[in-house]
Chain A
Amino acid sequence: DIQMTQSPSSLSASVGDRVTITCQASQDISNYLNWYQQKPGKAPKLLIYDASNLETGVPSRFSGSGSGTEYTFTISSLQPEDVATYYCQQYDKLPPPTFGGGTKLEIK
């Protein structure tokens, strides 16, 4: 199975800050990488698919990039409503699709 290593596991930043989360795959996943946002007590929500494609309706301050084994998720200007846990997920080699361990994002 492909392992996804996500960092950092937690992050505290100020409103307006640029926030970056990284995800490293144990092997090349050919951009088959998604990012989800999960707010406390809620279901996950798809933000980015195929490494860099913004899901319809998702604010443009969210973006994704990367290739091969290294992928990055960025919030260009952190907003209070962005407090959540963020997960990467690969789907190159199935099954299983595997999730990263998550990054808990808080406001400083």
Chain B
Amino acid sequence: EVLLVESGGGLVQPGGSLRLSCAASGFIFSSYGMTWVRQAPGKGLEWVSSISGSGGSTYYADSVKGRFSMSRDNAKNTLYLQMNSLRAEDTAVYFCAKDIRWELRMGVFDGWGQGTLVTVSS
């Protein structure tokens, strides 16, 4: 069974940084692309970033490009999202999600973590 557990969320001031982690188990982590999706309070789902199974390809939403960096450690079965220059509009629950594919034609998310809340406020 796919298990994804996010951590690292919390309260941070505007302009600050946070690093989210997502510990994966129950599947061969390196064989699948991974994604971060966020959900602002009371709002819908917003794709943030994706990474291929090898980690060689990364993709970012325009809203976070240049501020966020996604990476993975396949030896530790862990996904990361480094978030810098945080803004109030980044306040959201951040979910990590497993793709059904390794690299090509990613975009089907068949396993999700429970989410971690990031609050950007002074």
Binary flags per residue of A7-49, CB closer than 8 Å to B gives 1, else 0: 0000000000000000000000000101010100011111001
Contact A99 B46 (CB under 8 A): yes
Of residues 24 through 78 on chain B, the ones whose CB sits less than 8 Å from some CB of chain A are: 35, 37, 44-47, 50, 59-62
Which residues of the other chain, B, contact A46 by a CB distance below 8 angstroms? 108-110
Contact A98 B110 (CB under 8 A): no
A96 within 8 A of B: yes
Q: What bracket does the count of chain B residues touching chain A fall in?
A: 20 to 34
Contact A99 B59 (CB under 8 A): no
Nearest CB to that of B110 among chain A residues? A46
Contact B61 A96 (CB under 8 A): yes
Which residues of the other chain, A, contact B80 by a CB distance below 8 angstroms? none
- How far in angstroms is the closest Cβ of chain A from B47? 5
- How far in angstroms is the closest Cβ of chain B from A50? 8
User: Once bound together, how far apart are the Cα atoms of A89 and B37, in whole Å?
Assistant: 12
Which residues of the other chain, A, contact B106 by a CB distance below 8 angstroms? 91, 94
Which residues of the other chain, B, contact A101 by a CB distance below 8 angstroms? 44
Contact A44 B109 (CB under 8 A): yes
Contact B107 A43 (CB under 8 A): no
Which residues of the other chain, B, contact A99 by a CB distance below 8 angstroms? 44-47
- Please give 4 more A-B residue pairs, beta carbons under 8 A apart, in addition to A44-B109, A98-B47: A34-B108, A44-B97, A46-B108, A46-B109
Residue numbers of B with Cβ under 8 A of A are 35, 37, 44-47, 50, 59-62, 95, 97, 100, 105-110, 112-115
Pick 9 A–B contacts, CB within 8 A, sort by A: A36-B45, A49-B108, A87-B45, A91-B106, A91-B108, A94-B50, A96-B59, A97-B47, A97-B107
